[in-house]
């Protein structure tokens, strides 16, 4: 049963990625990405990381992707007509990269297991455990990520600030 759902979620994840690569319209690509994210969340549920899974759904599928679709709808859906060779190339790249990740990830996970201080397996299903680890062991990466996001946010505000108001004031003066 677990194997069965594992393969379904993997198919969602990889199939969604393939749709993102191959689809002509932006909205189709965004929906492929949604499918991919839901697949990833499903895999996290299988690993009993419920908190991470639902944060994934809430933040990425529920908010970020809605923003993507919103922007796509504002600027209009463009249909790209790419050649068949390009598509074949993309699928080839998808297969090669997938195989590479499949080859590398066991080594990476072994290395990560070697680096990790905790010897016993701790399931971070409880939100409280997750918060504690985030605020103690991984405090520095957490703060750096927060600072990066803050910088990005301020940057967006500066870029998006309405220039006409300043111009109007200058003209008044």
Partner 1 sequence: MSYLINQTATCMPALLGTADCSYADMALFIVLKVVFALAAIIVIMCFAALSVVAERKVCAYIQGRYGPNRTAIPIIAAIPLVGNFLKKNGLMQLVADGLKFLLKEDPLPAHVSKLWYLAAPIMSLSPILICACLIPFGVWWDSGGAAHPLAAANIDVSLLAVLAIGALGVYGAIMAGWSSNSKFPYMGAIRASAQVISYELTMALAAMSVVLYMGSVSDSPLSLFEIASAQEQSWFFMTQPLAALLFIVALFAETNRLPFDMAESETDLVSGFHTEYGSFKFGLFFVGEYGHVALGSALFIILFLGAWNPLPYISYPESWGWISTLLGFITFLVKISAMIFFFIWVRWTLPRFRYDQVMALCWKCLMPLALANLVFYMAIAAI
Contacts with partner 1 by CB under 8 A lie at 1-3, 27, 31, 34, 46, 48, 50-51, 54-55, 57-58, 61-63, 66-67, 69-70, 73-74, 77, 125-128
- Nearer Cβ to partner 1 (74/140): 74
Distance, in Å, from the CA atom of 100 to the CA atom of 165, rounded to the nearest integer, reads 52
N-to-C CA span, the chain = 73
Q: How far is CA 52 from CA 47, 63, 99, 154, in A?
A: 10, 15, 26, 27
Q: Which residue has the tokens 């809605």?
A: 66
- Nearer Cβ to partner 1 (5/82): 5
Q: How far is the CB of 115 from partner 1 (least distance, A)?
A: 24
- Nearer Cβ to partner 1 (81/83): 81
Distance, in Å, from the CA atom of 57 to the CA atom of 52, rounded to the nearest integer, reads 9
Helix 26-46 / helix 65-75 crossing angle, nearest 10 deg: 180
Q: How far is the CB of 127 from partner 1 (least distance, A)?
A: 5
Q: How far is the CB of 77 from partner 1 (least distance, A)?
A: 8
Q: How far is the CB of 116 from partner 1 (least distance, A)?
A: 20
**Secondary structure (3-state) at 125:** coil
- Nearer Cβ to partner 1 (51/94): 51
Q: Which residue has the tokens 């957490």?
A: 142
Phi, psi values for residue 118, rounded to 5°: -70, 130
Q: How far is the CB of 85 from partner 1 (least distance, A)?
A: 26
- Nearer Cβ to partner 1 (1/115): 1
């Amino acid at each position: 049963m677990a194997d069965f759902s594992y393969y379904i979620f993997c198919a969602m994840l990889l199939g969604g990625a393939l749709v993102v690569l191959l689809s002509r319209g932006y909205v189709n690509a965004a929906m492929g990405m949604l499918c991919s994210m839901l697949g990833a969340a499903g895999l996290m549920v299988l690993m009993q990381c419920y908190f991470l899974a639902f944060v994934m759904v809430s933040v990425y599928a529920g908010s970020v992707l809605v923003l993507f679709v919103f922007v796509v709808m504002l600027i209009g859906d463009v249909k790209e007509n790419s050649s068949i060779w390009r598509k074949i190339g993309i699928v080839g790249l998808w297969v090669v990269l997938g195989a590479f990740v499949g080859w590398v990830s066991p080594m990476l996970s072994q290395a990560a297991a070697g680096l990790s201080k905790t010897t016993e397996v701790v399931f971070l299903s409880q939100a409280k455990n997750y918060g504690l680890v985030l605020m103690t062991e991984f405090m520095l990466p957490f703060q750096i990520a927060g600072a990066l996001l803050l910088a990005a946010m301020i940057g967006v505000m500066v870029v998006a600030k309405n220039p006409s108001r300043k111009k109007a004031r200058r003209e008044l003066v």
